[in-house]
Amino acid sequence: MPGAVKGADLRRDPRFALHSTPVPSPVVPGDVKLAGRAVSTGPLTGEVPGDGFRAEITEVVWTGLNDAGDRLVVESWRPGRGRRRVERE
């Protein structure tokens, strides 16, 4: 969006987190968070002006319940560490 404040915010501090809406779903029954850095790719060209960014993902976290529904499950991924799963009562 031309002149958006978010572009200026990301140029000042490129960290971002994107959270899903925790709506029950048979595909992803839980909450998902992506975190990373927005790297400017410069002005967009074409009909609509604006700022381009690409996302460098530094963390993905899914939080939900196990199949029995009696334990909290947190699955996460980070570059260089890979995937990790933790279950809690």
Q: For the chain, what are the domain ranges?
A: 5-88
* pTM of the complete model beyond 0.85: no
pLDDT tens figures, 4-42 = 788 889 999 999 999 986 776 666 678 899 999 999 999
Which contacts (CB < 8 Å, 24+ apart) does range 51-54 have? 51/4, 51/7, 51/10, 51/11, 53/7, 53/10
pLDDT tens figures, 41-87 = 998 888 888 889 999 999 999 998 888 889 999 999 999 999 999 99
